[in-house]
């Protein structure tokens, strides 16, 4: 029985997940494309981290046993080792196994350097490295210190990537010493779980989502629709209600402490199964809209290693927008779009196209203005000469999320969500002919759109350690562009339809909207 570092972390989070991963693997779903891309980014970050140690030796990981053999032999070289692995028997037929990112020699001792693509050290990283240290010491190594090397979020690309400035390193030795206390007992318990003939019974809880989203969604299958877990910003309150054997929103007692008005509205709607409509507030919102109306939506890419000069890790770099323009009330919307065509920095073309099409008056309607405004602010830093234009644009922005975030309109079908994907089908149950829903599209989510664009401009996977994707041919590129255009266009068309539906709701009640 082999307990690896990844299995150790799984077991700490959820014994049921660990048991299933060992004894019933078919129930663990495969990684989706965006998760695979996350792994790819991690491998790329690791390559830049290795550049800190130019004399380092990379040990092949293609053959499990050969990797173990080479790791033992190369310890004598006294050089930094990449991907060194150790397997130790801790009790009869029970082995612990760990492969580390970097082992750095310091005299007759070693430092552990764990590499992560995040921009800071997290609690789960401490658990990770404590297991590595335990395995290394069981293998006979003397560990001096432990470090966590992570992305420096303040790094700005200028020409070739500067690996020294890209990465930052935290000394986590003290935290490891605290975490490693009792690790032997924890490991013994995990072996017992792995060897058990029955899957352990584990109640759902906050551990299902932290530190990682558990893939065993079946644990939640018994939860009914419109449950306490749909409660707006429910968090711990949802689990508190569940532990009191309250599962449905409509059964939440009146004396239960609800701190948000949205939660109270949601429970009322769950009991009546009717929407809540605050006509006065909706009318105030609609009165803010000044024609011509510009319905705008961005798509962005965000990578650990910045792709373009004057960008930093995980910066949201815009590559596409959709714009529906309604000149005056009652007019049919006119659609304009932009989608970058090459692997050059897309921001210049993006910015120029916006300047040509956003006019100098009228409301710019977005859904969740904090996102669009943050993108504009980054563009302002990139193009300081356009500061005044951007400031004028920002003054015209109206956030369509507002009436839904405030629950001025709320339908039970939204299940506590104010996202555009939840609002549109609740507010407009039957879409106009010829308009697809998000679920019917090839690309139906923002992260898939970002991945599709990256695949298009990078041509093939940047690293071959996890999965290789082929360079798209002309026909595939055409399809990717078409799917991206369709997805982004639906976002702004949804905005048009939602504003229209809000106005219709008011007019049906005799209120001028």
pLDDT tens, position by position, 73-115: 999 999 999 999 999 999 999 999 999 999 999 999 999 999 9
Residue 117 is given by DSSP the state S
Q: Which pLDDT score is estimated for 511? A: 42
Answer yes or no: do 189 and 266 share one domain. Answer: no
Answer yes or no: do 286 and 268 share one domain. Answer: no
72 part of a folded domain: yes
Answer yes or no: do 53 and 188 share one domain. Answer: yes
> Residue 330 maps to which CATH number?
3.30.420
Residue 381: C-alpha distances to residues 155, 243, 311, 392 (Å): 15, 49, 10, 15
212 part of a folded domain: no
160 part of a folded domain: yes
Query: Which residue range(s) make up the domain with 297?
Result: 280-508
* CA separation for the pair 159, 43 (Å, rounded): 21
217 part of a folded domain: no
What average pLDDT score do residues 358-365 get?
97
513 part of a folded domain: no
Answer yes or no: do 334 and 407 share one domain. Answer: yes
Q: Which pLDDT score is estimated for 459? A: 63
Answer yes or no: do 259 and 390 share one domain. Answer: no
Distance of CA 279 to the CA centre of its chain: 35
Question: Which of the four pLDDT bands, split at 50, 70 and 90, describes residue 190?
Answer: very high
207 part of a folded domain: no
User: Percent of the chain beyond pLDDT 90?
Assistant: 82
Copy the structure tokens of residue 55. Answer: 């004399």
Range name among 48-62, 197-211, 320-334, 459-473 with the lowest pLDDT average: 459-473
pTM of the model: 0.91
Q: What is the pLDDT of residues 370-393, one digit of tens each?
A: 999 999 999 999 999 999 999 999
What average pLDDT score do residues 189-213 get?
95
Q: Which pLDDT score is estimated for 510? A: 43
Answer yes or no: do 164 and 253 share one domain. Answer: no
Q: Which pLDDT score is estimated for 505? A: 66
Answer yes or no: do 319 and 351 share one domain. Answer: yes
482 part of a folded domain: yes
Check if the beta carbon of residue 295 is closer than 8 Å to that of residue 496.
Answer: yes
Answer yes or no: do 307 and 238 share one domain. Answer: no
User: Percent of the chain beyond pLDDT 70?
Assistant: 96
Answer yes or no: do 357 and 487 share one domain. Answer: yes
Q: What is the pLDDT of residues 158-169, one digit of tens each?
A: 999 999 999 999
Q: What is the pLDDT of residues 391-420, one digit of tens each?
A: 999 999 999 999 999 999 999 999 999 999
Q: What is the pLDDT of residues 118-132, one digit of tens each?
A: 999 999 999 999 999
Check if the beta carbon of residue 475 is closer than 8 Å to that of residue 280.
Answer: no
Answer yes or no: do 261 and 385 share one domain. Answer: no
Question: Which of the four pLDDT bands, split at 50, 70 and 90, describes residue 490?
Answer: very high
What average pLDDT score do residues 446-459 get?
81
Q: Is the pLDDT of residue 507 over 70?
A: no
What average pLDDT score do residues 263-283 get?
95
Answer yes or no: do 122 and 238 share one domain. Answer: no
Q: Which pLDDT score is estimated for 469? A: 57
> Residue 35 maps to which CATH number?
3.90.320
304 part of a folded domain: yes
Place of tokens 């019974």: 201
Strand order of the sheet with strand 102-106?
57-58, 81-82, 102-106, 109-115, 143-151, 167-171
Q: Which pLDDT score is estimated for 414? A: 96
Check if the beta carbon of residue 143 is closer than 8 Å to that of residue 111.
Answer: yes
Q: What is the pLDDT of residues 283-301, one digit of tens each?
A: 999 999 999 999 999 999 9
Q: How many domains does the chain have?
A: 3
* CA separation for the pair 444, 412 (Å, rounded): 22
What average pLDDT score do residues 208-223 get?
93
Q: Is the pLDDT of residue 513 over 50?
A: no
Answer yes or no: do 259 and 175 share one domain. Answer: no
């Amino acid at each position: 029985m082999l307990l690896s570092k990844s299995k150790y972390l799984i077991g700490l989070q959820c014994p049921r997940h660990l048991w299933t991963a060992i004894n019933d693997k078919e129930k663990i779903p495969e990684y989706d494309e965006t998760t695979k891309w996350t792994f790819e980014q991690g491998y790329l970050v690791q390559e830049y981290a290795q550049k800190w140690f130019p004399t380092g030796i990379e040990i092949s990981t293609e053959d499990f046993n050969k990797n173990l053999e080479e790791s033992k032999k190369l310890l004598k070289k006294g050089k930094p080792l990449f991907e060194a692995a150790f397997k130790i028997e801790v009790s009869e037929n029970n082995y612990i196994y760990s492969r580390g990112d970097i082992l750095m020699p310091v005299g007759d001792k070693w430092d552990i350097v764990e590499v992560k693509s995040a921009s800071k050290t997290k609690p789960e990283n401490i658990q990770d490295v404590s297991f590595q240290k335990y395995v290394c010491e069981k293998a006979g190594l003397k560990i001096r210190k432990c470090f966590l090397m992570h992305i420096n979020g303040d790094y700005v690309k200028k020409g070739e990537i500067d690996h020294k400035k890209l990465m930052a390193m935290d000394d986590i030795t003290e935290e490891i010493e605290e975490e490693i206390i009792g690790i032997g007992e924890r490991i013994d318990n995990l072996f017992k779980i792995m060897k058990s003939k029955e899957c352990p019974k584990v109640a759902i809880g906050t551990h299902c989502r932290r530190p990682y989203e558990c893939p065993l969604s079946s644990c939640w299958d018994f939860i009914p629709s419109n449950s306490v877990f749909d409660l707006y910003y429910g968090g711990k309150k949802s689990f508190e209600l569940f532990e009191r054997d309250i599962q449905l929103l409509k059964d939440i007692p009146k004396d239960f402490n609800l701190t948000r008005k949205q939660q109270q509205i949601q429970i009322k709607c769950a009991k009546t199964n009717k929407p809540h409509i605050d006509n006065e507030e909706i009318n105030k919102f609609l009165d803010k809209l000044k024609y011509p109306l510009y319905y705008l939506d961005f798509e962005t890419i965000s990578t650990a290693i910045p792709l373009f000069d004057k960008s930093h890790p995980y910066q949201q770099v815009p590559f596409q927008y959709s714009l529906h323009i309604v000149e005056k009330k009652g007019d049919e919307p006119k659609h304009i779009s932009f989608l970058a065509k090459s692997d050059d920095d897309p921001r210049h073309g993006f910015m120029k196209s916006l300047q040509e099409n956003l006019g100098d008056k009228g409301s710019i309607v977005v859904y969740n203005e904090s996102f669009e405004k943050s993108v504009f602010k980054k563009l302002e830093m990139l193009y300081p000469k356009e500061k005044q234009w951007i400031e004028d644009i920002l003054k015209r922005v109206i956030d369509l999320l507002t009436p839904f975030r405030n629950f001025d309109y709320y339908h039970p079908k939204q299940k506590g969500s104010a996202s555009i994907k939840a609002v549109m089908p609740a507010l407009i149950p039957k879409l106009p002919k010829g308009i697809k829903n998000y679920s019917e599209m090839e690309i139906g989510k923002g992260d898939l759109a970002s991945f599709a664009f990256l695949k298009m401009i990078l041509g093939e996977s940047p690293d071959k350690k996890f999965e290789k994707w082929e360079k798209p041919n002309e026909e595939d590129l055409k399809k990717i562009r078409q799917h991206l255009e369709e997805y982004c266009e639906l976002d702004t068309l949804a905005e048009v339809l939602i504003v229209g539906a809000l106005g219709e709701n008011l007019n049906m009640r005799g209120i001028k909207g």
